[in-house]
């Protein structure tokens, strides 16, 4: 079975599979890419002074997948030769496990690095995915920024960070 470009599920992430998916993205000319940038987001053992035990992620999957597709379209506009693949894990994740794998391929490394950074910033802004932190002494839903996907200021901020 072909690995999809965008996926959400409970299975451990395999960055190689995400990379293969990105290699098969529409618009890829075989041999034309000179760079693959991967990003893995890991569960950290500390957050704002708390000792984290594990995290639980949940997603509104159909809308989150649409958010990934939207981010891919934004990247296509800004970096036309870059292609994106994103897999996000949900459920219980232990310290050190990967919650998200992002792969960007491009003919040149500059675009691949920038588009990869842009992708993670945008996922954090607009993908309906929540995490619950279980720490020593309790648990809390991490509620952060809520960005309207059409908010150009948020998008511009992600682009600023990506190109810094």
Q: How far is the CB of 4 from other proteins (least distance, A)?
A: 17
At 35, give phi and psi (nearest 5°).
Answer: -150, 140
> Which parts of 24-151 fold into alpha helices (H)?
61-78, 109-126
Q: How far is the CB of 123 from other proteins (least distance, A)?
A: 8
For residues 78 and 124, which CB has a smaller minimum distance to other proteins in the complex? 124
- Which residues, 6+ apart, have CB-to-CB distance to 73 below 8 Å? none
CA geometry: angle 95, 101, 102, nearest 5 deg: 145
Nearest to 8 by CA among 105, 115, 125, 130: 130
For residues 101 and 127, which CB has a smaller minimum distance to other proteins in the complex? 127
Q: How far is the CB of 138 from other proteins (least distance, A)?
A: 13
For residues 96 and 153, which CB has a smaller minimum distance to other proteins in the complex? 153
Q: Which residues bind other proteins (CB under 8 A)?
A: 47-48, 58, 60, 62-63, 66, 120-121, 124-132, 141-149, 151, 153-154, 157-158, 161
């Amino acid at each position: 079975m072909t690995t999809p470009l965008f996926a959400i599920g409970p299975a451990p992430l395999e960055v190689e599979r995400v990379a293969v998916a990105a290699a098969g993205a529409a618009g890829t000319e075989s041999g034309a890419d000179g760079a693959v940038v991967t990003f893995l987001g890991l569960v950290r053992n500390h957050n704002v002074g708390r000792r984290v035990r594990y995290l639980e992620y949940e997603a509104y999957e159909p809308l989150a997948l649409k958010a990934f597709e939207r981010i891919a379209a934004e990247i296509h506009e800004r970096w036309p030769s870059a292609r994106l693949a994103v897999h996000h894990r949900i459920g219980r994740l232990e310290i050190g496990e990967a919650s998200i794998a992002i792969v960007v391929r491009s003919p040149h490394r500059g675009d691949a690095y920038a588009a990869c950074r842009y992708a993670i910033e945008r996922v954090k802004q607009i993908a309906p995915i929540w995490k619950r932190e279980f720490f020593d002494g309790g648990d809390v839903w991490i509620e952060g920024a809520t960005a309207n996907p059409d908010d150009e200021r948020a998008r511009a901020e992600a682009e600023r960070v990506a190109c810094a």
